[in-house]
Amino acid sequence: MKYKLIKEYPNSPKLGTVIYEAHNTLWEYERPNHEFRQLSLLTVQNSPEYWSPETEWISQLSNSPKGSLHWLNTLLGRVAHIGEYLAKQPQTTHLTEYGKCIEEDVREVMDYFQDKLK
């Protein structure tokens, strides 16, 4: 579930902030450092007038909610397939090295999130 801040309150995040519920905890994605900040579930429960539930966006590719493990695996699987294809091109093309890098990077990300999102 996702919630969007629709009205500011003292010490609240910025207006329009979206927080995500996962593993019975709320998470805010922070930019520019690209980290997640953990928030208490009470953030929304104690202030429902400030937070609006957001509908889940469904991916047309995976037919699952964007941000879900299935969505992530489907997209990364697709990118891995492209990397494998590029890696198998004749060694005379510059695409071979790019393909190998893409494939390795995607597999690393898939392995990381497979363990984290169960």
Give residue 21's pLDDT: 75
Place of tokens 């037919």: 63
DSSP letters for the chain: -EEEE-S--TT---TT-EEEEETTEEEEEETTTTEEEEE-THHHHT-TTTEEEEPPPBPTTTSSBTTSHHHHHHHHHHHHHHHHHHHTS-TTSTHHHHHHHHHHHHHHHHHHHHHH--
Give residue 108's pLDDT: 78
Tell me the whole-structure pTM to 2 decimals. 0.44
Q: Mean pLDDT per segment of 10 residues, for the chain of length 118 residues?
A: 85 82 69 69 84 75 70 79 77 72 78 64
